[in-house]
Amino acid sequence: MTSTGHALLDAAENFVPMLRERTDEIEEARQVPQDIADAFAEAGFYSVMVPEVYGGLELDPPTFLKLIRTLARGDSSAAWCTMIGATTGLGSAYMPKADAEEIFGGGKRTITAGVFAPTGKAVPEGDGYRVSGRWQWGSGSRNAAWISGGCFVMKDGKPEMSDTGVPISRMMMVPADDVALLDTWDVSGLCGTGSTDFEMKDVWVPESRGVAFGYDKPMERPLYVFPLFALLASGIAGVALGTARSAIDELVSFASAKTPQGTLKPLAKRPDTQMGVARAEALVRSAQTWMDDAFSEAWEAAQTKGVISVDQRRDMRLSMAHATTSAAQAVDIVYDLGGGTSVYKRSPLQRHFRDVHVATQHMMVAKGVLEQAGRLFLGLETDTRLF
């Protein structure tokens, strides 16, 4: 790990107590307060995927995993928004230098947000596009200075196609002032992510700010060899694992003091509690270790070979889906062990339960990942574009 990585992890660790103190405020506001987002930006968290030549930190993926896990121990929503902002910043490695410098250059520590799903349309106009659309899941958009949305580029009423016959989706990045944020984020968990819907209506976007991940060529650096979706999914799994770690720690903090009604032994001295905590620890630690190993192997390949094999991509994505599911199982165990304590809003366990189960619903770690990984293990023809 580089000195930059160590400094980032130290900074994240220092934020954990403050995040725990303000987690109710974050949830009730349904967004990360701007002063926290600004402090994260100043620490460099939103710039970890931006190339060093533009003043970014170009952080290695294994350290990125640890960064998100650490922040999630403080507050899951804050960690989630950091993950979204950081991965949206990958677009800087695909843009022409002038545009990347304007948005990210000079160490601006720009906060970005975005949604990859191509629910918008971009019609060519001059040397740019006229963009309209509405996107769901705009995590962190209320804190961002720049927001991007996936669009199909329409030509003669049909989407532009790649040479493989697949529609090309471009992320159109625009100033936040050109985006209408809608008040739609009223949910069960990850409430503080502010993942509201947003709209663009007839916004003109320069061609140079319409990035097609997986189609356009990024800057030739090891970080940008990594598949975008692997980095995104790793952040989701990182949030889930950090949430599970915090849930286990919370149960341990009161297990010796609480004696459940109708029993004579404190919670900590009950065999089912002891076995449950052990199972939760095993789930979290084993899943975390496998994901760390898969990422380290892929990072080594990116640095030495400049390419990550399909098998390595498969293992990364499967380890992330497994980690997210394992984290949810661990939270379920400690939630059940907490008994009546778990259901009160004053207990962090109920929030951890809600947050981790929202994370499991993200398509990057959902059942489809298992299906694709299984096809690859079985030697079947498989579309690996999203791997």
pLDDT recorded at residue 106: 83
* pTM (two decimals): 0.96
Give me the chain's average pLDDT, please: 95
In this prediction, residues 11-18 reach a mean pLDDT of: 98
CATH top-level class of 114-211: mainly beta
| Start and end residues for every CATH 1.20.140.10 domain found in the chain | 226-377
105-160 pLDDT per residue, tens = 888 899 999 999 999 999 999 999 999 999 999 999 999 999 999 999 998 888 98
Task: Specify whether the CB–CB gap between 26 and 32 falls below 8 A.
Answer: yes
On whether the 226-377 domain is CATH 1.20.140.10, my answer is: yes
Q: What single letter denotes the amino acid at residue 136?
A: Q
Residue 42 to residues 11, 35, 46, 71, 108: CA-CA distances in angstroms? Answer: 11, 10, 9, 15, 9
Residue 261 in this model has a pLDDT that exceeds 80 = no
Residue 315 in this model has a pLDDT that exceeds 70 = yes
| Start and end residues for every CATH 2.40.110.10 domain found in the chain | 114-211
| Start and end residues for every CATH 1.10.540.10 domain found in the chain | 3-104
Residue 168 in this model has a pLDDT that exceeds 80 = yes
Residue 41 in this model has a pLDDT that exceeds 80 = yes
pLDDT band at residue 166 under the 50/70/90 scheme: confident
pLDDT recorded at residue 257: 83
pLDDT recorded at residue 157: 85
Residue 215 in this model has a pLDDT that exceeds 90 = no
In this prediction, residues 215-240 reach a mean pLDDT of: 94
Q: Between 1.10.540.10, 3.10.450.50, 3.30.365.10, 3.30.420.130, what CATH number should domain 3-104 receive?
A: 1.10.540.10
The secondary structure of the chain, three-state, reads: CCHHHHHHHHHHHHHHHHHHHHHHHHHHHCCCCHHHHHHHHHHCHHHCCCCHHHCCCCCCHHHHHHHHHHHHHHCHHHHHHHHHHHHHHHHHHCCCHHHHHHHHCCCCCCCEEEEEEEEEEEEEECCEEEEEEEEEEECCCCCCCEEEEEEEEEECCEECECCCCCECEEEEEEEHHHCEECCCCCCCCCHHHCCEEEEEEEEEEEHHHEECCCCCCCCCCHHHHCCHHHHHHHHHHHHHHHHHHHHHHHHHHHHCCCCCCCCCCCHHHCHHHHHHHHHHHHHHHHHHHHHHHHHHHHHHHHHHCCCCCHHHHHHHHHHHHHHHHHHHHHHHHHHHHCHHHHHCCCCHHHHHHHHHHHHCCCHHHCHHHHHHHHHHHCCCCCCCCCC
318-374 pLDDT per residue, tens = 999 999 999 999 999 999 999 999 999 899 999 999 999 999 999 999 999 999 999
pLDDT recorded at residue 49: 97
